[in-house]
Amino acid sequence: MALKRSITTISLLLAGIGGIIGSAWLFGPYYAAKIAGPAAIFSWVIGALMMSVIALTFAELASAFPVAGGVVRFTHFSHGSLVSFTIAWISWLSATTVAPIETLAIIQYTGNYFPILIRVSHDSHSLSGMGILFSAMVMFILVLLNTAGSHHVTKTNAKIILVKLAVPILLIILLFARQFHITTFYQFGGFAPYGFKAILIALPTAGIVAAFIGYDVAIQMAGEAANPKKAIPIAVIGSISICAVFYILIQIVFIGALFPKDLSHGWRYLSFAADAGPIVGLAAAVGLTWFVKIIYLNALIAPFGTAFIYTASTGRINYAMSKNGYMPPIFQRLNKKGAPIYSIVLNFIIGMIFFLPFPGWQSMITFLVSCFILAYAFGPIALVALRYKAPHTQRSFRLPFVRVFGFIAFYFCNLILYWTGWYTIWHMLLVIALGYIYLFIYWLFKRQTFADFNCHHALWLLPYFIGFGVLSYLGSFKGGIGLLPFGWDFAVIFIFTLIIFYWAVKASDLETLIEEPII
């Protein structure tokens, strides 16, 4: 049974918005302000611009090859099985963390009413045993709802988005009208108290990049778009543009609503009585006590909506992995409603595991960013390769100066990845190594030959991973030894990116598509 093309342009746009507007508005402004001060506004601007450039490469790819689980399939067409598996593995694991992250946001805010769900230690918040149990119940509900098929998913998502947007927009208006101190933007260390480096650190660690990654939902569900040539560019570009304005506004009013006493010890010590729900803490502090319960309600709906739509899109990644031969054929099976039910159940099981090593929202967000950005880094390479390997494929959306645009997008991905720091990078490299162990075992089981994995197209992968690991270890971001000083690292990563980009595009050999897509 094939996936049905029933998703309209508006529904796909709303799916992208639904993926972006999740728990980030509940936590992002708080963590970004602690890291970068008022200059966190620039973090959102830079994040939106960088993610827009990256997203444009996927807008062309998805409009030219509108297949389910597109991120996985694009590199299969351009570079074959081994490169595609690498993307598939890391995309799948990162996507399965979204539902746990959003569920964690729900439980963390609920913990203000039911403290038994949350464990507080050294100013950090994690789930208690009871919290993990309730998280499992929420995620199981997501599984049940997603068995109804993509048409039901997008209709439900559209209704959820109205509530998700209405509450924070009203909060922006109320905070601005109730209390707005312009002095907080230049006192207490100035506009950028911790410098430009802190602005960049906030991108991956405060949930900024993770927020904009939500447009990925539109890419994964492209295979079910009724008019993919039109719908995909509108959904990708439109969702990022709309949500960028939203996040910048909420960051501005968050900073303006702070009391001088909140900043008496500096931005890094900013805290509220309810840090588990910082937006609630701020609303209560400025006297919007009547609005607090509404925020709590939205703190349940907004993350739930994002987890809901991601549960659907992540199932499409398993579907694509199975079509590529990396998973058993059972994950291509659909129920009567056209939903990949076995994939959704598997993702529920894997998602529950992530509550154990990454119990806090911020720690899970940083790992999510590193995995997603690595998966996105391969997209610009596939774009340039497929321009030459499939020159006659109809493209309703074409990027100008594709080599330059593709290189810049790849460079942006490498920078964001580098800013997550060595501590996160080595965890990500370990996950990739585990993926190759899984592939080797699966290869033995299927009795395939190495030729089936198109290894000659993937010779650049090992130098890329080793080289990036070394640069991250030498860098000055979290866990690095500081041998590569800030500022010079931009130039070094630029040269490294140029070498890998040229090698990776050349490695496609400009042959015909390794597997013709069925569109």
- The pLDDT value recorded for residue 41 is 94
CA nearest to 17, candidates 277, 240, 174, 175: 240
- The pLDDT value recorded for residue 6 is 57
What proportion of the chain, given as a percentage, has pLDDT over 70? 80
- The pLDDT value recorded for residue 440 is 81
CATH superfamily of 9-507: Amino acid/polyamine transporter I (1.20.1740.10)
pLDDT mean over 21-32: 82
- 7 forms beta bridges with 225
Task: Label residue 315 by pLDDT band (50, 70, 90).
Answer: confident
- The pLDDT value recorded for residue 50 is 93
- The pLDDT value recorded for residue 284 is 81
pLDDT of residue 518 exceeding 50: no
DSSP secondary structure of 210-277: HHHGGGHHHHHTGGGBSSHHHHHHHHHHHHHHHHHHHHHHHHHHHHHT--GGGGTT-GGG---TTTTS
pLDDT of residue 361 exceeding 80: no
- The pLDDT value recorded for residue 226 is 66
- The pLDDT value recorded for residue 167 is 84
pLDDT of residue 188 exceeding 70: yes
pLDDT of residue 151 exceeding 80: no
Task: Label residue 356 by pLDDT band (50, 70, 90).
Answer: low
- The pLDDT value recorded for residue 295 is 81
- Max avg pLDDT among 261-265, 378-382, 408-412: 408-412
- Name the amino acid, one letter, at 408: I
What are 434's two structure tokens?
């585990």
- The pLDDT value recorded for residue 1 is 46
Tens digit of pLDDT for each residue in 207-217?
888 788 777 76
DSSP secondary structure of 405-473: HHHHHHHHHHHHHHHT-HHHHHHHHHHHHHHHHHHHHHHHHHT--GGGGTGGG-TTHHHHHHHHHHHHH
**CA–CA distance from 279 to each of 13, 239, 298 (Å)?**
27, 23, 11
pLDDT of residue 146 exceeding 70: no
- The pLDDT value recorded for residue 450 is 52
pLDDT mean over 348-366: 66
Average pLDDT of the chain? 79
Task: Label residue 331 by pLDDT band (50, 70, 90).
Answer: confident
What are 442's two structure tokens?
């699966």
167 φ/ψ angles, rounded to the nearest 5 degrees: -65, -50
Phi-psi domain of 338 (left: phi exceeds 0; alpha: psi -120 through 50; beta: other): left
- The pLDDT value recorded for residue 499 is 96
Q: Is 124 in a helix, a strand, or coil?
A: strand
- The pLDDT value recorded for residue 333 is 77
Tens digit of pLDDT for each residue in 217-269?
676 666 566 676 677 778 888 888 888 999 999 999 999 988 888 787 888 88
Task: Label residue 517 by pLDDT band (50, 70, 90).
Answer: very low
What are 343's two structure tokens?
């994939």
Tens digit of pLDDT for each residue in 74-117?
887 888 778 888 888 887 877 777 777 777 777 777 776 777 87
pLDDT of residue 426 exceeding 80: yes
239 φ/ψ angles, rounded to the nearest 5 degrees: -65, -40
What are 509's two structure tokens?
């050999």
